[in-house]
Structure 1
Amino acid sequence: MSIFSVLKQIERNLEQFTHAEKKVANYVLENPAQVMEMSTKKLASACQSSEAAIMRFCKRIGIQSFKVMKLELAKELHTKGVGTPEIVDSPFQLDDDPKLIMQKVIFNSIQALQNTEKMISIKTLSESIDQLHKAERVYVYGVGGSAVVVRDFAQKLLRINVNVFRSDDSHLQMVMTANATKKDVIFVVSTSGKTKEVVDMLSIAKERNVCCILLTQNGPSPARRLADLVLTMSEEEHNIRIGTMTARIAQLAIIDALFVGLCSKRGQEVYERIIDTHQVVQHLKN
């Protein structure tokens, strides 16, 4: 079984750290066992950084404190080499057979979900649910692979009678954004946070003081700077992405959490709507 990997998170985010944080990162990667026995003061001295940089470093990889990071390191080093063959925890190769491909896909999906659970802020998740609950209209948008996730979210919101609007046409989406008000919410999914259409749309929404919720991977991006609330998932496919597979899995999990949270917020009536819509759809299957 896969576990949350501190060392992998550090490796994947290495280029995003500041100079001071990178000193901490490199030291942890080279001396994980020693770090488990250190205080923040000793680690800061050993890597010629600061205690403040250590705390920023921990939060950047989805861990809230140095104490928790040491616990995660201890679990990782204790279970290293146990349970999952190294060949499964490796990039896809052209000569992989179907069985190994399946094992790698499942392994990577589980890893992405566990890493995202560590990365996401529950406070931001709760605030996003509140904003969606009180919004008069919800505009959802995503480009490319993210559009698949957005389509799933729109379908879920329609089932509970949320006024949700979505378009694959970027021009039409811009028109809808231009008509949005402070009573509405714009929900955007962008794996990189750098897609031009997404950034342009968020810029327009910002000018109109519309609440913007962004679902994106960990790391700095233009979209992240424009959004009011950012739901952060872990970055799994930082080199060549084959269909953004693990990104999509993590995004769908967060979408499901938002939907279930919204259902709970709206009470018993929402479940009656789900039953009603289910029964209507069943007529098409007869």
Structure 2
Amino acid sequence: MLEAAPVPEPAAAPTSVAGERLSGDAILARTRALLPTLPAALLRVGEQVLSAPAAIARSTILETAERSGTSPATVTRFCRAIGLAGYADLRLAMAEETGRSSSVAGWEIDIGRAISPTDPIDRVASLIATAEIRAIQETMAQLDLEAVERAADAIDAARRVELYGMGGSALMAQKTQLSLHRIGVPTWTWADVHSGLTSGVLLKPGDVAVGISHSGTTRETFEMLSVAASSGATTVAVTSSPEAPLAEVADIVLTTAAHETTFRPAPHASRLPQTIVLDLVYVAVAQRRHEQTIAALKVTADAVSGHRRQLPSKGAQ
């Protein structure tokens, strides 16, 4: 048996071929997003990385190739496919990620474990909470904050904002529409493709269209955002994959990560990370129109205050 190589010294964060500093979270999220697009051999390497990051941190390139049933050259190609210069950067990132994960006290790390019908509820709660925590961490690690700023600038200046999504993504669109509408941004949500296409064709330069799809391959959302783009609107995609068709028709791409668990496939598990990203955009817009936002929040709260039941005062019988 080959002797395991020592874990590389974390002297500096791993960098991409473009010189970008990448965290372990970001590399795992990027791997997960690109996995469906990889050739079979690279796919096996990616699955090995996602299933056993700690083993990658301790292993030579030859050992990783053997475990994934590939070759060292294939492992190197995988590293380059996810934007790293080579295997040394991958090992360093996984060493940092393993160390960070092990320091999360009180939480189970084995989020890939299936939930069985006999699992106690505390175990289920731990697995779900850990999956959500890791998904948010990976989303924040990979999120392009400059893209968030550009999206907020465009929405703040827009004549109108249209949000497109189908199924569960429509719920995310509706939530964002309510938030933006409350601070005075003219916003509409479309979950019906006929209405969305009609809306998109009427947009103009300076308007903003946002398409939400975890996979980035939902045909209806792609079509609606494409029509909006053809009309000259600034287009924003919220998706897990920067290589997805939805991202290809977007001027601005905001990526999210998700961790599946039993009974919660990726589209379901993506809701909280999508909420975080869309809330970040909303808050950035609110910052840009601070005085208007404060005034709008006050008058809208006053408008519904009469429909809230007053709580009894302390000491009341």
Q: TM-score range by the shorter chain?
A: 0.7 to 0.9
Maintained 8 Å contact 2:29/2:138 = no
- The normalised TM-score by structure 1 is 0.79
Maintained 8 Å contact 2:163/2:188 = yes
The CA RMSD measured in Å over matched residues stands at 3.5
Counterpart selection for 2:95 from 63, 70, 74: 74
Once the two structures are superposed, the pairs formed by residues 24-103 of structure 1 within 5 Å of their partners are: 31-34=56-59, 47-48=72-73, 54=79, 57-58=82-83, 72-78=93-99, 83=105, 84-85=107-108, 89-103=112-126
Structure 1 partner of 2:274? 251
- The normalised TM-score by structure 2 is 0.72
Give the Å deviation of 1:8: 7.5
Q: Distance in 2 between matches of 1:239 and 1:99?
A: 15
Q: Distance in 1 between matches of 2:110 and 2:94?
A: 22
Counterpart selection for 2:216 from 193, 207, 210: 193
Unaligned runs of 5+ in 2: 1-23, 62-70, 310-317
Q: SS of the residue aligned with 2:211?
A: strand
Is residue 214 of structure 1 aligned with residue 237 of structure 2? yes
Give the Å deviation of 1:88: 5.4
Structure 1 partner of 2:194? 171
Give the Å deviation of 1:214: 0.7
Q: Distance in 1 between matches of 2:189 and 2:47?
A: 44
Q: Distance in 2 between matches of 1:249 and 1:68?
A: 30
Q: Distance in 2 between matches of 1:20 and 1:142?
A: 34
Q: Deviations over 1:39-60 (max 9, x none)?
A: xxxxxxx93379897455247x
Q: Go from structure 1 to structure 2 and tell me whether the alpha carbon gap of 1:279 and 1:35 turns closer, same or farther (over 3 Å shift).
A: farther
Q: How many pairs does the alignment contain?
A: 271
Q: Distance in 2 between matches of 1:223 and 1:35?
A: 37
Q: Distance in 2 between matches of 1:101 and 1:148?
A: 25
Q: Distance in 2 between matches of 1:148 and 1:105?
A: 21
Counterpart selection for 2:152 from 123, 129, 148: 129
Q: What's the % identity of the aligned pairs?
A: 21
Q: Go from structure 1 to structure 2 and tell me whether the alpha carbon gap of 1:252 and 1:33 turns closer, same or farther (over 3 Å shift).
A: same
Structure 2 partner of 1:43? none
Between stretches 212-221 and 111-120, larger displacement belongs to 212-221
Q: Distance in 2 between matches of 1:265 and 1:11?
A: 34
Look at both structures and tell me which one has the larger radius of gyration over its CA atoms: 2
Q: Go from structure 1 to structure 2 and tell me whether the alpha carbon gap of 1:67 and 1:254 turns closer, same or farther (over 3 Å shift).
A: farther
Q: Distance in 2 between matches of 1:81 and 1:246?
A: 23
